[in-house]
Amino acid sequence: MPQAPAPRRPPAKILPPEAPGVRALASLVTGVVIICALYFGRAVMIPIILAILLSFLLAPFVDFLRRLRFGQVPSVIVAVFIALSVLTAVGALIGAQVAQLAGDLPKYQVAVERKIDSVQRVTVGRADEFLGRASRALKRLSPAAREQEQKNEDNPAASPIDQPMPVEVHEPTPTPLELAQRFLSPVISPLETTGIVLVVAVFILLQREDLRDRLIRLFGSRDLHRATTAMDEAARRLSRYFLAQLGINVGVGIIIAIGLAIIGVPGALLFGVMTALLRFVPYVGTWIAAIVAVVFAAAVGPGWAMLVWTVVLFGVTDILAGQVVEPLLYGHSTGLSPFAVIVAAIFWSWIWGPIGLVLSTPLTLCLVILGRHVDRLEFLDVLFGDRPALTPAENFYQRLLANDPDEALVQAETLLKERSLIAYYDEVALQGLRYAHNDVLRGVVTADQLRRINESALDIIEGLEDADDTAVTIERKDEPPASLDSPDDESALAHETPPARFDAQKEGHTASVLCIAGRSELDDLAATIAVQLFRKHGLYADLAGYERFSRGRFGEVDLAGVTIICVVSFDAAESPPYLRNLLRRLHQRASSAELIVGLVFPESPLQGEVLVRTSSAAVSFRELVEACVAAARRQSGDGVPWAGLADTGGETALSGPGEDVPELRDA
């Protein structure tokens, strides 16, 4: 009597999303308050932020001086004095260049007027001429125009409209105090900001350890190890990144200044300094400075050659700096996504004006690093960081749900450059299928979605049929950028090598594995992957579904000669009754066969079963392959393929690579 189908477990109830709680509302209010404080308190915040960034830049130099036994206070004073000297020199250079350009501007007046006239003739002049001809044509065709012309002919003595009387406004002569105030106001404000920045930077450098301890006490006293690691790592990496970025920007500015001077563009030093400052804004900073320089070169140059050479200079310099120098120093990325760079530039320029535009990337970079170490600020890393938003396993499952195996295969080919095939199946496919299995248990996966998952996964497995499971040598890269990875991420790059391959000819006998899929909806996929890996490691493998070994049909099964049985199921982690009964029946009917169970969890209750303790339990495809290869080497005789596949009407055994499929015995 055929066995009645087992009732499916009722779908789990999915609770509606929780309403925003008090914590979410408090976080929103806190964010709004912080933005308002940044906007209205910019006069106070800008010097403090500049001082913090300056301390990041000077910290490596201070540490270097302290290693030379200068002492803490002298080291800080020397570093700040050098920084003040550099800032003074840059300010004097900018002022001198602006004054020189203002004084030389009358010499370029003729060239500027000639260029403006030529541009106007080509653009606006032709448009005005066309509109004038059209207007005159319309007037000639208009009846009102003809009547007006006739009226003027009839009354030639009509007087013109009276001209208005011109009025001139003269300001009173300013007093000496007003003149001094006008002259000193633009100078006092930068000097005041510079003084505040230097004083705050001195105290930050003198009390770095004390400030660190206070911040740890304030934000991370519950987890001292994590807070200390995060702050030390962020400070060290940010200092190194800012120093490298400053060096590159200064080098680019020097090259631009020398190149513009050779080309003959006036104010070459000014444009070099402008380029060095604006390069703190990635992607667009260089070209903002380039637009100003190109417009100026086009205006003052006698021809168009100066404009062309200026464009070539900026283009070649930016390509070399962005594609050659920066990857050698700190990688191809700043740690921010291009979207984040644009949004940060808009936000900080709105908050703090031009200074915010220059500081947008360093400030956003600090927020991203903070989001990678503080759980409640993780959204900053997700929104603005350049790391993938989804893990490879999550992306794998998402592609299965979207029925897009092509993109999943592209992802697999990329990941296989850094890891072996079995590592890809364990780290990506297995974890992705476990996500799918959990959703199936929750009852949120529809029948159509389950069908798409199975079809897409089978397409991916078939697409990897020709991939070899070999070890991949990964060259150790230099230290990543300051914003890219934390130490936890670096450990994830190490992948285990695949198990040793079973060589049937060299070891003198063959072995065949009977792989049985469990009753879960995704067990057939896991068993198919296992069979593919068995074959790539020199084992014959037969695949069978659970229905062939159910209680009602188990009496029809012939397990004679089967020496290795592998049961693969995602239900192994939960140890359901049907799986325990299946293992018991297999042990009774084929007591001499090696019984291997996967995919269990290390703490799974199934590992406590007597049958599992007397055989093997695997938590990954790697352990499955290792257990089967070890069992094959322990065999005293040749194993044979399972004869029960002979009457399946289309199912075929998967043979080892380079071998013919042996004939199946009748059941």
Q: Which residue spans within 340-458 are E strands per DSSP? A: none
Specify whether 60 is located in the same domain as 205: yes
Distance (Å, whole) CA 651 – CA 544: 9
Q: In degrees to the nearest 10, what's the CA dihedral of 607, 609, 611, 617?
A: -10
- Residue-wise pLDDT tens digits, 61-94: 888 888 888 888 888 889 888 888 888 888 888 8
pLDDT at 662 over 60: no
Instruction: Tell me if 638 is assigned to some domain.
Output: yes
Q: In degrees to the nearest 10, what's the CA dihedral of 533, 535, 538, 539?
A: 100
Q: What is the 3-state secondary structure (H, E, C) of 383-417?
A: HHECCCCCCHHHHHHHHHHCCCHHHHHHHHHHHCC
Specify whether 580 is located in the same domain as 627: yes
Structure tokens at 335: 């740690």
Structure tokens at 347: 């936000």
pLDDT at 637 over 50: yes
Specify whether 80 is located in the same domain as 37: yes
- Residue-wise pLDDT tens digits, 273-299: 888 888 887 777 888 888 888 888 877
Specify whether 436 is located in the same domain as 529: no
Specify whether 444 is located in the same domain as 402: yes
Specify whether 607 is located in the same domain as 527: yes
Q: How confident is the model at residue 255 (pLDDT cuts 50, 70, 90)?
A: very high
- The set of residues, in sequence order, having a beta carbon less than 8 Å from that of 164 and lying 6+ positions away, is none
Specify whether 435 is located in the same domain as 557: no
Q: Do 636 and 564 contact (CB within 8 A), yes or no?
A: no
Instruction: Tell me if 102 is assigned to some domain.
Output: yes
H-helix or E-strand containing 127? Answer: helix 126-141
Predicted local confidence at residue 482, as pLDDT: 43
Predicted local confidence at residue 650, as pLDDT: 38
List the end-to-end C-alpha distance of the chain, in Å, as a whole number.
20
Distance (Å, whole) CA 471 – CA 485: 25
Specify whether 595 is located in the same domain as 453: no
Map tokens 């159509």 to a residue. 448
Predicted local confidence at residue 665, as pLDDT: 33
pLDDT at 306 over 70: yes
Per cent of the chain over pLDDT 90 is 2
Predicted local confidence at residue 258, as pLDDT: 92
Map tokens 């003084």 to a residue. 195
> What integer is the mean pLDDT of 437-452?
88
CATH of the domain at 622: 3.40.50.280
Per cent of the chain over pLDDT 70 is 69
3-state secondary structure at position 564:
strand
pLDDT at 493 over 70: no
pLDDT at 116 over 80: no
Distance (Å, whole) CA 546 – CA 600: 17
Specify whether 438 is located in the same domain as 543: no
Map tokens 């009852």 to a residue. 443
Predicted local confidence at residue 474, as pLDDT: 54
Domain count, the chain: 3
Structural domain span for residue 623: 504-647
Structure tokens at 580: 């325990």
> What integer is the mean pLDDT of 470-491?
48
- Residue-wise pLDDT tens digits, 154-168: 555 555 555 566 666
Please tell me the pTM assigned to this model: 0.64
Instruction: Tell me if 14 is assigned to some domain.
Output: no
Q: β-pairing, 616-618 with 594-598?
A: parallel
- Between 113-122, 386-395, 649-658, the lowest mean confidence (pLDDT) is in 649-658
Structure tokens at 47: 């010097």
pLDDT at 575 over 50: yes
H-helix or E-strand containing 134? Answer: helix 126-141
